[in-house]
Structure 1
Amino acid sequence: MFAGGLAFAVEEASTQKDLEELACKDVMRLSGNQREYALAFVHGDRLVKMNTTQYEIEVLAAMTDQYIDHCLDNPKDNALATFEKIGKSQRGCR
């Protein structure tokens, strides 16, 4: 019985991820809703770090476009660090 439980635990893949460990290529490889969720998450993470809930949708859209372009050109860059760098250069979130 113990061995069967152990086998189940080994077979079950972990769904836990660490955003700080993702490379740009990892985010770009996500498909459909998964990429949308990841991008929404990093936008939210940035707002939390800025201690605000206010934003301008045009600025967020521009940041997303800039982020995708950067990641396509630099797939080995860290995904979160890249987003933070782009965020520091943007205004529109208070």
Structure 2
Amino acid sequence: MLVFSLPISAAQAQGTPTPDAPRQAAIGELDCRTLLRLGGEERDFTILYLHGFVSGRTNQQLLPVKDLAEATDRLIDRCIDKPADKALGVLEQVRAVRQ
């Protein structure tokens, strides 16, 4: 499971790994297979985070809800077809279709 979080304990802050510490991954490492395996809200929040990341990167300040919903559907479809692809790259491609 990938977790996008900041270290909260002193041991983690000092770089000492702990067995139960969540793995921190770069956003570009998340592949489609992992995204699809996330459950419920965790998947929803991860996709929302990816949309926010892409919007920030492109300096998009308006949120066209319908376009984002359609892009999310295309993301899921493409991830099903190509689970080894990186989710961020796929989202950037499917958002470029309409936005």
With normalisation by structure 1, the TM-score equals 0.80
Give the distance between the partners of 1:14 and 1:42, measured in 2 at CA.
Answer: 19
In the alignment, what sits opposite 1:77? 85
Residue 15 of structure 1: how far off its partner (Å):
3.8
**Residue 17 (structure 1) aligned with residue 34 (structure 2):** no
Runs of 4+ aligned residues of structure 1 deviating over 6 Å after TM superposition are none
Return the index of the structure with the highest Cα Rg: 1
Structure 2 portions without partners, runs of 5+: 1-10
In the alignment, what sits opposite 1:61? 69
Number of aligned pairs? 85
Counterpart amino acid of 1:24? C
Q: Which has the higher helix share?
A: 1
Give the distance between the partners of 1:81 and 1:9, measured in 2 at CA.
Answer: 30
Q: Give the root-mean-square deviation of aligned CA atoms.
A: 1.8
Give the distance between the partners of 1:75 and 1:9, measured in 2 at CA.
Answer: 29
Inter-CA distance 21–9: structure 2 relative to 1 (3 Å threshold)? closer
Structure 1 portions without partners, runs of 5+: none
Tell which has more relative contact order, 1 or 2 (C-alpha 8 A, sep 6+): 1
With normalisation by structure 2, the TM-score equals 0.77
